[in-house]
Amino acid sequence: MTEEIILPKSPEERDAAEEQIAEVHKIIDYDTREYPVEVIVSKYLDRLEDDDNDFFVPDYQRDLTWTDEHQSRFIESVLMGLPIPLLFLADVEGQEGRAEIVDGSQRVRTLARFMSNVLRLSGLKRLYKLNGFIYADLPPKRQRRFGRHTLRMIELREGTDEDVRRDIFSRINTGSIRLTDMDQRWGKNDGPFLEFLKECSEQELFRKLAPLNDKAVKQREPQEFVLRFFAYLSNYQNFDRSVVDFLDAYLYEMTAIFDENVKVNSKYEWDQMLLFVSNYLPNGFSKRKGHVRTPRIRFEAISVGTALALRENPNLVPASIDWLEYDDFKSLMRSDASNSRPKVIGRIEYVRDHLLGTVK
């Protein structure tokens, strides 16, 4: 192969590039400010209905997309004194000195909902005694401290045009790689149970039966699969819509109670399930041989259904596995059914009952 010859840039090309950097740099002029939470909220809420509030949300990011639990976790972070990402505002021409919230509208609106007694805290793990609280339920001294908590912001000076503001918004929200749910779990938890999940996810037989591409492996997808297996096996009948919350709750519980006895019993069920799938399902958890991507819900249904069947009959030999190609099984495997409690229960018990031969 012929190596590419890289020629140095000419002085003219370098001068042109430097001129472009300097020109763009002039456009983005800013100040760094710091405001108490109560001031930010008042500037956002004051005259909100008349579209005359000091801080306003532009049309390109109008909707409040955070769930109540996500908003609650943000309030929890403020109460705990954790660092909060910078807000970005812009002094917009033609707005009589009003500032556009370029980035941070979810945070500002969450603070406003909480301090207006609209948001009732829920799903908190660290400050769980605050679940069910609204702002008015806090002791007066805590309300005052909350209101005095300061947030830092970058304010783009007057003259920064809309294209630049939209570009900044896009770069802030797409400029970094979002951590996967499993990455976040690994970052905020530790201990023997997480190490156990990692050990199971690295087994050669598991990787063979549930093939995943390199990107999925780097994003801890194998560990996610193992966590899903044990979480659903433990409590699938009580699953309720949010997979993330369901898995997080199970991880929190197991981190507290995991010991050597639990490890031995869990590993036995895991190994027996893998061995059964290896012996009787030619494609493992995949739809077809040669696939490098195993669907999550297919893995959940087959792995958990198999483990439940083996609990009832450890010496199970299936009479047939033709049902893997049935239309009703394929219907249960649709991704749009992943957050439906009846479908979660239905697909797991479908596998269990067909393996046991108890289908009527």
**Burial zone of 343 (CB within 10 Å; 0-12 exposed, 13-18 middle, 19+ buried):** buried
- Rounded to the nearest angstrom, the gap between the alpha carbon of residue 93 and the centroid of all alpha carbons in its chain is 37
Q: What is the per-residue pLDDT for 175?
A: 47
| Strands lying side by side in the sheet with 87-91 | 30-36, 150-156, 87-91, 99-103, 55-56
User: CA end-to-end span of the chain, whole Å?
Assistant: 65
Count of C-beta atoms within a 10 Å radius of residue 348: 26
> What size, in residues, is the chain?
360
For 73, 265, 344, the CA distances from 107, given in Å and listed in that order, are 11, 44, 33
Q: What is the per-residue pLDDT for 29?
A: 63
Distance (Å, whole) CA 160 – CA 90: 7
Domain boundaries, the chain: 11-174, 181-356
SS3 content of the chain, % helix, strand, coil (to 5): 60, 10, 35
Q: What is the per-residue pLDDT for 89?
A: 85
Distance (Å, whole) CA 85 – CA 153: 9
For 86, 209, 301, the CA distances from 286, given in Å and listed in that order, are 44, 7, 12
Q: What is the pLDDT along the chain (360 residues), one digit of tens a residue?
A: 456 677 788 888 888 888 877 766 655 667 788 889 999 999 888 766 656 778 888 765 556 778 888 899 999 999 998 888 888 888 776 567 788 888 888 899 999 999 999 999 999 888 999 999 999 999 999 999 999 999 988 887 665 556 665 666 556 555 455 556 676 666 656 678 988 999 999 999 999 999 998 888 888 889 999 999 999 999 898 887 678 888 888 888 898 898 999 999 999 999 999 999 999 998 899 887 777 788 888 999 999 999 999 999 999 999 888 888 888 888 888 755 556 788 889 899 999 999 999 876
Q: What is the per-residue pLDDT for 102?
A: 80
Q: How crowded is the C-beta side of 237, counted as CA atoms within 13 Å?
A: 3
Count of C-beta atoms within a 10 Å radius of residue 72: 23
